Amino acid sequence: MGEKMKKTAILVDGAFFLKRYKSIRKIISLNSSKTANDLWEMCLKHLTQAKGEKFDLYRIFYYDCLPYGKKQHNPLTSKSIDFSKTPQYKFQIDFFDELKKKRKVALRLGVLEDRKRWIIKPQLNTLDRPGTVSNLKGATREELQQVVDSWGLDNIEIIAASPERKSIRSYRSDTETAIIETISRRPCTLDDLTKILGIHINEINKYLDVLDAEEKIEAIEQERGVFYQVKEK
């Protein structure tokens, strides 16, 4: 008798999956049935590793929150909003129903906190690129803070001049270069890059997000999974 395959549980972060799924597939409007089928197939592909090792599926745990479906009044227009009638609500409910039909899929759904009121948080921003007027320039973070202090409000968020991911100390340009050089030789999956470069999958994802945002790479769906390759100019 052959060696018994290891039982494997796959955990899916729902919000993260939908965000990456839309980005990779270049989808504007999600279809609940197709999204559920694609998620199922992606999970099954993970059961076969690069070296041919296969695992037996125990269960797919999908974590998310039930969509907010109550009525609220818009704090600016005073018009009533029925969130249960929104496209986002309908997709989430239909998507969960489709997942319930899938074999060995278990939903783990939380509930969004209902605070019974709107929380309006003003945001202060400034130019982050050259303006159309020659002598116009963006305010520094210190200058923005002075504005906040002069208003005397404690719930204003300064959203300008935040450091880009590439400027964070933990972001290494040599790692980005290594990823580019590797996928320049041949397209690689996330698992391939992790094994070749010896870097944790979460760390690889951080660099792929930056490279994807800069349109330096593109994702291609193949039989073995999602492959990343250098984007042709």
Residue range 74-124, pLDDT digits in tens = 877 888 989 999 999 999 999 999 999 999 999 999 988 777 777 777 888
How many separate domains does the chain show? 3
What CATH number is given to the structural domain containing 207? 1.10.10.10
Same domain, 181 and 147: no
Same domain, 147 and 170: no
For all residues of the chain together, what is the average pLDDT? 83
Same domain, 13 and 98: yes
What the block records as the tokens of 212 is 């994807």
State the distance between the two ends of the chain, measured CA to CA, in whole angstroms.
Answer: 52
Domain containing residue 216:
164-233
Query: Comparing 26-30, 52-56, 175-179, which segment has the lowest mean pLDDT?
Result: 52-56
3-state secondary structure 141-206: HHHHHHHHHHHCCCCCEECCCCCCHHHCCCCCHHHHHHHHHHHHHCCEEHHHHHHHHCCCHHHHHH
Same domain, 130 and 173: no
Query: In this structure, are residues 207 and 179 in contact, taking their beta carbons and an 8 Å threshold?
Result: yes
Same domain, 65 and 1: yes
Same domain, 42 and 17: yes
pLDDT score recorded for residue 162: 42
What confidence tier does 157 reach under pLDDT thresholds 50, 70, 90? Answer: confident
The DSSP 8-state label assigned to residue 209 in this structure reads H
pLDDT score recorded for residue 11: 96
Query: In this structure, are residues 193 and 229 in contact, taking their beta carbons and an 8 Å threshold?
Result: no
Mean pLDDT confidence for 201-209: 85
Same domain, 27 and 97: yes
Q: Write down the H helix ranges in the chain.
A: 14-25, 32-45, 87-100, 141-151, 173-185, 190-197, 201-213
For tokens 């209902």, name the residue: 114
Q: Say if residue 10's pLDDT is above 80.
A: yes
What confidence tier does 1 reach under pLDDT thresholds 50, 70, 90? Answer: very low
Same domain, 1 and 97: yes
Same domain, 10 and 66: yes
Same domain, 111 and 137: no
